[in-house]
Amino acid sequence: MPEQITSRSAAEAADAADPLASIRSRFSLPDAVIYLDGNSLGALPTNVPAALADAVTRQWGTDLVTSWNRNDWWTLPRRVGDRIGALVGAAGGQVVCGDSTSVQLFQALAAAVKLRPERTALLTDGANFPTDQYVADSVGATFGRTVRRVSPADVSFDDEVGVVAFSVVDYRTGELWDVAELTQRAHDAGALIVWDLSHAVGALPVELDSVGADLAVGCSYKYLNGGPGAPAWIYVANRHQAALDLPLTGWHGHADPFSLDSGYRPSAGIEQARIGTPPVLSMLALEAALDVWAGVDLRAVRAKSLALSDLVIGYADAHLPDVEVVTPREHSRRASQVALRIPHAYAVTQALIARGVIGDFRAPDMLRLGCTPLYLSFVQTWDAMEQLRAVLAEGAWRNPAFARGADAVT
């Protein structure tokens, strides 16, 4: 990977030497756009439209209900789960795909607190993604646990702590936490840890099995490029599967679903984490989207990601005196996005979008720029920073069209 890139020509040289450069052809992206929001919604893989057209026209339209057998819809959650598992260091049979991250978090946290019945406290991060905090509060209220908010940076354990629910990456700042160390510390204290990998899966190597993770969840529409609202996934380590007691007992998780029994007997393996009928069309889009990972080494992804974010940070330091880099500078503490604190960040974000540079705003004052190595080049990243410099220098953000309306949703 390149040294710090401090010029457009250096960015061009880095692109010429990029081992992942050819992967960009696996995505369809508008020519006029520099897309720095793959950490919110990943880009469209080129093979997805045809896969989805086949799913709709042939599988649904022609084969109709027989597709559950004929086109293997029934095995889809497990099949996609295993493919996602391979990207997070999970051996087969520990991941299923389905539902939203919110629902999977409720499942995972509820099951986890029941695995530590004598422990009264559930820990989450006060800077965790809102849903993660809300679901922790709901699980706490439902199952009689006290919720404590503490940063992974400051966490301490006592023998009341039964479950820790952290995200691998801080969704605003892009800070990367030490999964191995925190997992070990939780276990040393007799607690279980539930990881949210939404901003990590597909962005950097995570080794759930080797760090001894207990449960994990994640989304599929960011760095996995599964499409808007692509179904999420849940990981349950093999050693926990026998004692698991999941609250969302849909018939797809039953040991013998087509017996149509009156009583629930969970499947013995990870299939117990299936719930109801999954959104097949969305899941088939995700399945096709996972093809972009063929032959891709996550270590190369990680190296390019850090080089891209080094470029962003270095540029901000050198050329943007009014901008504060919030994301940690140490590679070991940085995931795959850069958060910049900027006066009038909302309007600045909109002004950039108007110039074809798509990042996103997070309240109250941050511009997030996602570094997605599969389809983002060094030159694009350089050019995006030049545009940001121009927007700030020209005061382009002052345009009233860029002011935050009451109906803004991103």
Paired with 325 in beta bridges are 340
Among positions 208, 275, 326, 352, the unique one binding a copy of itself when judged by CB under 8 A: 275
Within 173-232, the residues that bind a copy of itself by CB under 8 A are: 219, 221, 227-232
Q: Do the Cβ atoms of 145 and 118 come closer than 8 Å? A: no
Which CB sits closer to a copy of itself, 120 or 133? 133
Question: How far apart are CB 335 and a copy of itself at their closest, in Å?
Answer: 18
Q: Dihedral sign, CA of 109, 112, 117, 119?
A: negative
Which CB sits closer to a copy of itself, 124 or 183? 124
The question of whether 116 is a catalytic residue gets the answer no
The question of whether 114 is a catalytic residue gets the answer no
Among positions 5, 14, 37, 334, the unique one binding a copy of itself when judged by CB under 8 A: 37
Question: How far apart are CB 183 and a copy of itself at their closest, in Å?
Answer: 24
User: CA-to-CA distance for 349 and 391, rounded, in angstroms?
Assistant: 9
Residues in the chain: 410
Question: How far apart are CB 226 and a copy of itself at their closest, in Å?
Answer: 9
Question: How far apart are CB 184 and a copy of itself at their closest, in Å?
Answer: 27
Which CB sits closer to a copy of itself, 126 or 205? 126
User: CA-to-CA distance for 161 and 118, rounded, in angstroms?
Assistant: 9
Name the active-site residue from 274, 368, 378, 402: 368
Q: Closest Cα to residue 202, out of 358, 389, 42?
A: 42
Which CB sits closer to a copy of itself, 25 or 262? 262
Which CB sits closer to a copy of itself, 12 or 54? 54
Q: Does 68 bind a copy of itself (CB under 8 A)?
A: yes
Among positions 1, 10, 29, 189, the unique one binding a copy of itself when judged by CB under 8 A: 29
Q: Closest Cα to residue 108, out of 197, 217, 264?
A: 217
User: CA-to-CA distance for 219 and 136, rounded, in angstroms?
Assistant: 17
> How many beta carbons lie within 10 A of that of residue 143, not counting itself?
17
Which CB sits closer to a copy of itself, 249 or 387? 249
Within 230-269, the residues that bind a copy of itself by CB under 8 A are: 230-232, 247-252, 254, 257-264
Q: Does 401 bind a copy of itself (CB under 8 A)?
A: no
The question of whether 221 is a catalytic residue gets the answer yes
* CA distances to 44, 51, 285 from 29, in Å: 7, 18, 17
Which CB sits closer to a copy of itself, 83 or 252? 252
User: CA-to-CA distance for 291 and 271, rounded, in angstroms?
Assistant: 23
Among positions 19, 49, 205, 395, the unique one binding a copy of itself when judged by CB under 8 A: 49
User: Strand 146-149 to strand 337-341: parallel, antiparallel, or no bridges (unpaired)?
Assistant: unpaired
Q: Tell me which residue has tokens 């941050």.
A: 366
Question: How far apart are CB 158 and a copy of itself at their closest, in Å?
Answer: 22
User: CA-to-CA distance for 207 and 201, rounded, in angstroms?
Assistant: 10
> How many beta carbons lie within 10 A of that of residue 228, not counting itself?
9
Within 114-153, the residues that bind a copy of itself by CB under 8 A are: 126, 129-131, 133-135, 137-138, 142-143, 149
Token pair of 375 as six digits: 């389809």
Token pair of 99 as six digits: 């539902």
Q: ω before 247 within 30° of 0 (cis)?
A: no
How many residues form the binding site for a copy of itself (CB under 8 A)? Answer: 88
Q: Tell me which residue has tokens 């849909």.
A: 250
Question: How far apart are CB 380 and a copy of itself at their closest, in Å?
Answer: 14
The question of whether 346 is a catalytic residue gets the answer no
DSSP, collapsed to helix, strand or coil, labels residue 274 as coil
Within 85-114, the residues that bind a copy of itself by CB under 8 A are: 99-103, 106
Q: What is the largest CA-CA distance in the chain?
A: 68
Within 337-366, the residues that bind a copy of itself by CB under 8 A are: 353, 358, 360, 362-363
Name the active-site residue from 106, 221, 361, 375: 221
Within 298-327, the residues that bind a copy of itself by CB under 8 A are: none
Catalytic residues: 129, 196, 221-222, 368
